[in-house]
A and B are shown apart, each in its own frame.
Chain A
Amino acid sequence: MQEFLESFMSSGPLVVFVFSIIPLKIILVYALFAIWLERKVAGHMQDRLGPMETGGWHGWAQTIADLLKMIQKEDIVPAKADRFLFKMAPFIAFAASYGAFVAIPLSSGYIGSMIDVGVFYIVAITSLLSVSIIMAGWASNNKWSLLGAMRTAAQTVSYEVPTVVTILSVIIVTGTLNLMEVTEMQSGNGFLGFLPNWIIFHSPFMILAFFLFFIAALAESHRVPFDLPESESELVGGYQTEYSGMRWGLFMLTEYADMLLLSLVGATLFFGGWNSPFGSFMDGPLWGAFWMLLKGMVLVFVMMWLRWTLPRLRVDQLMNLCWKYLIPLSFVNLVLIAFWEMIFK
């Protein structure tokens, strides 16, 4: 693995460049797909059909058409806005979530960068997102945007705690922050012989840990029921209110990229990453990518499913949930997992 990566790194800048934008391509294609899927899921859950016309089969090209429309749109900056910050914010947002993909092993043969502090890096760089949202909210010079931005700041900062603590409980088991190594540890058959050797099956507390992680991830990616920064029925559009055209599109892209990112992190930490669920069957770098994305997409689907089922929390309830339930629970869980680890290993 290591050798492969090293040899590949030394094979010239062009190849490196092509390879290093693989996540970008994946994000773009995925976003097109995910937005279409979201519409379809929403539609069918509401006994509708969703997009049906564009592109022929079940409106598969709808998002592409929307994208083309957005690119053509006028780039409007409000007169009283802070132009520089206003224009920068979407890029920073996207860069933050795109940058995080670098540490995710998409398959056994591909990882953007073999950093030893992978998880740490991801947690750190995704916090940039809240900076960009605050920038957007502040620069828009709109009170709704500002309220949305303030909510984001509070939300992201709070929910980072349970996220990090649950991740930490996984790290106790793996003993490494490098996600490639974390994944490699989960290959083969593990517990009871028939369940895959995934961390979620490692101990009962891990299931709880995953739950906590998933809830926190929902909050971090601002999805319903935690979509307070946007909450279109209260804050009009939150920090996105004044954005239009491709800048708004970038925020949208960021939201979906974030969903995928957190799903992939979840898949890597709890569901064996690119490992096949059938042991060595259907294994290999390409199959690995398939499994990885599949697991990610399943989690993304669950996020969509929740979105079209649940109402939205209020900002104080959101904080309540985090500080009164998630954080204590995740700490208790951390301790329990540590004990489990001490006793059984």
Chain B
Amino acid sequence: MVKLLSDTYFTFRSIFTGMGITWRHLFTKSVTVQYPAQRDVLPERVRLKLDVNMDDCIGCRLCERACPVDCITIGTTKSTDDDDLGETSTGHKKKLWVDQFDIDMAKCCYCELCVHPCPTDCITMVEDYEYSSYDRNDLILSFSDMTPEQIEEVQAKLEREEEEKRKKKEEARAAKEKAKAEGGKDEAGGGAASSGDTDADAEKAARRAEREAKRAARKAEREGKDAGESSGAAGESGGSAAKSDDTDADKEARRAEREAKRAARKAEREAKKKSEE
């Protein structure tokens, strides 16, 4: 009986204390922020969106390498001697054209691992959190301000320059050899190779380049396929998604192709260089 009464007392007391607390809260100031109208003051370190100051980027790819989800894609082209890309505000010499700098914010996990290694502090988190979109391709931020023509141009220029350089070197060598061969040898060897040693070297380099190119091409293919597959899977979940994925896949494939080409070119260049030496 006593237990029953004390229980009842305990019950009612706890219920009424509870009601007292909620009653008090009824009149305390609410903590809500009426969002579009009021905004919180965000601390300076907030990680909301990445921004790259392209004037300062030297294309060193450290950020790309630091990212755990591989959502940064950087493409660079070496600058030619006659182009002066200037210096960054931190005093680093810029040597590369950054023709592609894409960050896929849809993949980004906001870990900020990319921010810290940057030597010029040009990749930063900024206070912008209202960038949701209906299309996930809109979330790929492209920071490079180079137009395709410009990219084409600098690449062509680079090739031209390299060609010229090679030619110059060849000429120089040819001249040298000519001078050497003055004493009777009339054949100076128009080709790159003059001695057996260098010949073998060049061959090796060429083979390696070929291999590399092949590998790149294969990778591109694989990536393209992967993207295609994912688009196929997404296709089940809705036409629009499939569409966007398709373009995704296309893009991916194109990018891969570009990459492969670039790799092939690079390999070629290297081979040439090797053979020249």
Contacts and interface: CB of A to CB of B under 8 A. Distances in A.
Nearest to A45: B22
Contacts of A342: none
B15 interface: yes
A5 interface: no
B32 A48 contact: yes
A8 B175 CA distance: 125
Interface stretch (B23-31, B129-137, B208-216): B23-31
Interface stretch (A129-137, A139-147, A266-274, A301-309): A301-309
A210 to B, nearest CB: 15
Interface in A39-88: 41, 43-49, 52
Interface in B9-37: 15, 18-19, 21-23, 25-32, 34
B30 A309 contact: no
Instruction: Report, as a range, how many residues of chain B touch the other chain.
Output: 10 to 19
B25 A46 contact: yes
A47 B25 contact: yes
A185 B176 CA distance: 129
A310 interface: yes
Contacts of A306: 19
A48 B30 contact: yes
A48 B31 contact: yes
B32 A309 contact: no
B26 A309 contact: no
Contacts of B34: 49, 52
Interface in A298-345: 305-306, 308-310
A269 to B, nearest CB: 23
Given A46-B25, A47-B25, A309 B31 contact: no
A309 B28 contact: no
B30 A310 contact: no
A309 B15 CA distance: 8
Contacts of B21: 309
Contacts of B18: 309-310
Contact of B26 (A41, A49, A310): A41
A310 B30 CA distance: 21
SS class, residues of chain A in contact with chain B: loop
Contacts of B22: 45, 305, 308-309
Nearest to B27: A44
Nearest to B28: A47
A310 B18 CA distance: 8
A45 B26 CA distance: 4
Contacts of A49: 30, 32, 34
A70 B118 CA distance: 53
A47 B31 CA distance: 6
Interface string B174-185: 000000000000
B191 to A, nearest CB: 78
Contacts of B28: 47
A310 B16 CA distance: 10
B87 to A, nearest CB: 51
B31 A44 contact: no
A305 B19 CA distance: 7
B170 to A, nearest CB: 75
Contacts of B29: 47
A41 B26 CA distance: 7
B7 to A, nearest CB: 10
A306 B25 CA distance: 14
A44 B19 contact: no
Contact of B30 (A41, A44, A305): A44
Nearest to A325: B8
Contact of B23 (A46, A47, A48, A305): A305
A47 B30 contact: yes
A47 B30 CA distance: 4
A308 B22 CA distance: 8
A52 B38 CA distance: 13
Nearest to B20: A309
A66 to B, nearest CB: 20
A305 B22 CA distance: 8
A49 B25 CA distance: 12
Among the interface residues A46, A49, A52, A309, which one has the most CB atoms of the partner chain B within 10 A?
Answer: A309
A306 B23 CA distance: 10
Nearest to B17: A309
Interface string A171-208: 00000000000000000000000000000000000000
Contacts of B30: 43-44, 47-49
Interface in A4-43: 41, 43
Nearest to B4: A325
Contacts of A48: 30-32
Nearest to B18: A309
A210 B111 CA distance: 60
> What are the 4 A-B residue pairs with the smallest beta carbon separation, nearest first?
A45-B22, A309-B18, A309-B22, A49-B32
Interface of B: 15, 18-19, 21-23, 25-32, 34
Given A45-B22, A47-B30, A305-B19, 11 more contacts: A45-B23, A45-B25, A45-B26, A46-B25, A47-B32, A49-B30, A306-B19, A309-B15, A309-B18, A309-B21, A309-B22
15 contacts: A44-B26, A45-B25, A46-B25, A47-B25, A47-B28, A47-B29, A47-B32, A48-B30, A49-B32, A305-B22, A305-B23, A308-B22, A309-B15, A309-B19, A309-B21
